[in-house]
Structure 1
Amino acid sequence: MIIDFHSHIFPPPLIAARDKYLSDPCFRLLYSSHKARLAAADDLISEMDASGVNKAVIQNIGWASHDLCVRTNDYLLEAAARFPARLIPFIAVQPLAGTKALGEIERCAAAGARGVGELRPDVQGFGLGDDRVIKPFVETVAGNNLVLLLHADEPAGYAYPGKGAVTPGVLYPFIAANPDLKLALAHWGGGLPFYALMPEVGAALKNTWFDSAATPYLYRPEVYERAADLVGENRILFGSDWPLLGQRRCLDELKALNLSTQTLNAILGGNAAALLGLE
C-alpha cells in the first residue's frame, strides 16, 4: 500500500476566488503567486490514480482565522466522506481561538478527522512554548487520539516561499515536553533527525515521525537512507506535498534508491498505516 502523508486540497469556490483570501498570512505566504497551484479533491484522486497511490492524507493549512479553519475543514471532511477508502482528513485549528479551537477539534474528530495539521505556529502567531495556549490544545489533540502534524523549517539553506522559523531548536523543547503526543513533522523536521545522535534528542523522538514532503526541493535523495539510519525506518512517512510536487516524481525518486524491500514498504505506507491505525 502507498500512502501519501502530505497533500493539500482546497474548496473549489476558494480556488475560484483565491485573491480574496490573500489577507490571511499563511495563505498569502504560500499562494500569493498564481504559479502556486491550488487543487480540489477530484484533482487529487486523479493524481493518485495516475501515480498508483492508494491513500492520501489531506491536510489543511495554518489559517489565522478560526472561521476559515472551520469552512475549509468542512470541505476536507466532505471530501473524505466522498472518498472514504482514499482520503484521510487532517484539519486546521487556530489555537489562539481558545475554547473555539478545542471545540473544533472535538467536532472534526467525531466526523472522522485523524489528525490536526499542517500547523504553522510562527505564521499563526503563537509559540509552542506558550503553555496557556498549548497545554489545552495538546491535551485535546491527544485525548481524541489524533496525530499532530507540524510544519518544520531548516535553519540553513536557501530561502523559499513558505520557509519560516519553526526550526529544530524550536521543535525539540516542544517534543521533549510532550512525550506522549503522536507527532509528525513535515519536511524531515527541518533536519531534526540529524540531531538524533545526541542521546537526549534521540530518546525524545520515540513518538515522533518525519514526512518527506517536498524532498526534491530540499535534499538529495539519499536523505531517506541517512534518516533511516538515524531515527529508524519505522519513523519515516512518504509525503509529496502535492500539488506543489507530483506524486509520481516523488515516488520515482524514492524507488530509485537502493533500499531493502522492507524499508521501502515501511516508508511508502506501512509506517503511516501503523501510525493512523489503518487495517
Structure 2
Amino acid sequence: MRPFALASIVAVLLAICLAARPGIAEAASPVRFGYLDQPGSALFLLADAASLFKREGVDVVPVRFADSASGLAALGKGKLDAGCFAADQALQAIARGAAIRIIAGGGTDHSASVLDEVDASARLEREGSGILVAAAEGAGAPDRETLGKVVTALIKAHVLLQNNPADAWGRIPHRRPGKGEEFRFDPDPDYWRLAQIWKRLDLQQPAMPRGFLADHVYDEIYCDALGDLNDGEGEPDPVLKQLAGKAVCPPDCCPTGKKKRTDKGGTP
C-alpha cells in the first residue's frame, strides 16, 4: 500500500475515534461582549470579574465602547455577539431594523428620582437611559444554549450584588456608583417596561406587525435560566424567589408556575 494512502486511512480512523469519544468536542467560540464602562453595566462587569461566565462554560471577551450608538452599530453588523447598552437606543436600533434581540436587563440610575411616582414621562425617560443586554441575530450569532448560560451568569451576578454588595463592588471598585448616585439593578428584560418606552418614543410604525417589538425581546431565555436556578438543589435564594415572583413569562417557561400573563400580545 502506498504511504500516502496509508496515511489517509489512519487520519480517517483517528477522526472517527475522536468523534466517538465522549467529552471531546469542538471548543465553543468566544462571546464578544460589548459594554459601557459605567455603573449600569455592573451585572456584566461583575459576572466577568467573579468568573461567573467561566463557571457557566462561556468564554466572554469584553469589548469596551464609549457610547451605546457605536456599540449597537457593531452588534448590528455582527462585530459583537452581545452587549449591554442604553435601552432607548437599543429600541431605536431595533425599530430601524437592526438584527438584535433583547435578552436581559441591567442597571438604571435612580438618583433624584422623586418625580417618578407622579410623572410617568420622567420615569420612562429614566428607564430609557438604563442598561439592557442585547444579542445579535442571524448566522454566526450565539445559540440559545450559549445565551442561556450568559443570562444565568448575569442573574448570579445580580444575586451576589444584592446579597453582598460590599464584596460585589469590591470586585469592580472602579464602577462603584459615586456619592449621591443610586443605581437599581434587574436582570429581567421586562417586555412590558420596554413596551412603555417603545410607545413613549413613538417607534411603532404602520408597516410594522403588531408584535414587532415582542419578536425582538427574547424573554424566554431569561425565564428558562431563572427557572433552572430556582429548581436547583436546596432552598432557592431569596433574591431568586423575588425575581421569580415578579417575572412575566410566556407559557411553559414561567419559573413560578403562576403565569401572571401568558401573551405579550404585541406592542400596546
**Fold match, TM over 0.5?**
no
Structure that is richer in helix per residue: 1
Q: Answer with 1 or 2: which has the greater Rg.
A: 2
Alignment TM-score, normalising by the size of structure 1 = 0.28
